[in-house]
Amino acid sequence: MQKLAGLAALLTLPLTAQLVLNQPQPQILGAQIAFAQNQPTVTTITSFEQKEKTETEVIPFPTEYVPDPDTEIGIESITTPGREGAIHRTYLVTYWYGEEAERQLITTEQVNPKIETVAYGTKVVWQDLSTPDAGKLAYWRKIDNVWATSYDKSCLGCNEWTALGTKLDYGTCAVDPKVIKLRTKIYVPGYGLCQALDVGSGINGNEIDVGFYDLHAQSSEVGWRGSHYTTIYLLDQPQVPTY
């Protein structure tokens, strides 16, 4: 009966009073009072990331050619080595989910290149050459590692006439005029003597195309063994290289 009476008394209290009475009782922890409640944990996740990134652009060094009258034509030497320059650019890069979204230039640093100096010979020196098919010759320049090929009037784009209007035959050769002056007499080992009377779109740099009127009939006569690297000798028209 006492419990029912207490319950009836409680129900007669105002609602606010009932809420106060229903609150959890404080626990005594040392000299402090704490309510046994679980506090929520808040975790913040960002999809942005920023990093500094440096990119380098290489600046090639320029080359200066200086004539050397005491050195033979065709000989070059580096007198002052060059050094590459560089431009270093540092950016602040913003990434969004691992992908670059924005970049901002922070600093720029430039290192200037150093000029390389090359001395090239301008002296004409005549030298003797003994050959098995043309006897003793005098040459003023030899060119190593020349790719030598052959052609005749029946090759693709060819006919019986050269670029200088002469008839194509054994003793004619095609050259790159930027390397060998036209009409220069040349000795090609395994072929013999020829004169630079022709040019070709496929002849560039250190290349030479030795001519025949009929390649199959004449090549066996002179012992020509087909395309290969060789050394050729320039016999006249000395010319000082220009840069």
**Is the torsion defined by CA of 147, 126, 74, 197 positive or negative?**
negative
Q: φ and ψ at 29, to 5 degrees?
A: -115, 95
pLDDT number for residue 222: 85
Counted domains in the chain: 2
Considering the domain architecture, whether residues 106 and 158 belong to the same structural domain is answered as no
Q: Please report, for the domain that includes residue 213, its CATH number.
A: 2.40.40.10
Considering the domain architecture, whether residues 196 and 130 belong to the same structural domain is answered as yes
Q: Is residue 23 part of a domain?
A: no
Q: How far apart are CA 176 and CA 196, in angstroms?
A: 9
Considering the domain architecture, whether residues 115 and 157 belong to the same structural domain is answered as no
Q: Is residue 137 part of a domain?
A: yes
pLDDT number for residue 234: 97
Strand partners, 114: 83
Domain end call among 92, 121, 150: 121
Stated as kind and residue range, the H or E segment containing 243 is none
Q: Is residue 103 part of a domain?
A: yes
Considering the domain architecture, whether residues 219 and 146 belong to the same structural domain is answered as yes
Considering the domain architecture, whether residues 150 and 171 belong to the same structural domain is answered as yes
Q: Is residue 224 part of a domain?
A: yes
Considering the domain architecture, whether residues 147 and 227 belong to the same structural domain is answered as yes
Considering the domain architecture, whether residues 64 and 103 belong to the same structural domain is answered as yes
Considering the domain architecture, whether residues 134 and 229 belong to the same structural domain is answered as yes
Q: How far apart are CA 118 and CA 116, in angstroms?
A: 7
Q: Is residue 41 part of a domain?
A: no
| Residue entry with tokens 């033979």 | 72
Considering the domain architecture, whether residues 53 and 135 belong to the same structural domain is answered as no
Considering the domain architecture, whether residues 128 and 193 belong to the same structural domain is answered as yes
Considering the domain architecture, whether residues 179 and 94 belong to the same structural domain is answered as no
pLDDT number for residue 80: 97
Domain end call among 61, 92, 121: 121
Q: Please report, for the domain that includes residue 66, its CATH number.
A: 2.20.230.10
Full domain range(s) for residue 129: 124-234
| Residue entry with tokens 């220069």 | 184
Q: Is residue 32 part of a domain?
A: no
Domain end call among 61, 87, 121: 121
Considering the domain architecture, whether residues 107 and 144 belong to the same structural domain is answered as no
| Residue segments in the chain with a per-residue pLDDT below the cut of 50 | 1-13, 15-23, 26-36
Q: Which of 131, 122, 116, 110 is closest to 57 using CA atoms? A: 110
Q: How many CB atoms lie within 10 A of CB 73?
A: 17
- Could you tell me if 134 and 127 are in contact, meaning their C-beta atoms sit under 8 angstroms apart? no
Q: Which of 234, 242, 236 is closest to 142 using CA atoms? A: 234
- Those residues whose C-beta lies under 8 Å from the C-beta of residue 79, and which sit 6 or more positions away, are 66, 117, 118, 119
Q: Is residue 17 part of a domain?
A: no
- Could you tell me if 85 and 108 are in contact, meaning their C-beta atoms sit under 8 angstroms apart? no
pLDDT number for residue 242: 81
pLDDT number for residue 134: 93
pTM of the model: 0.64
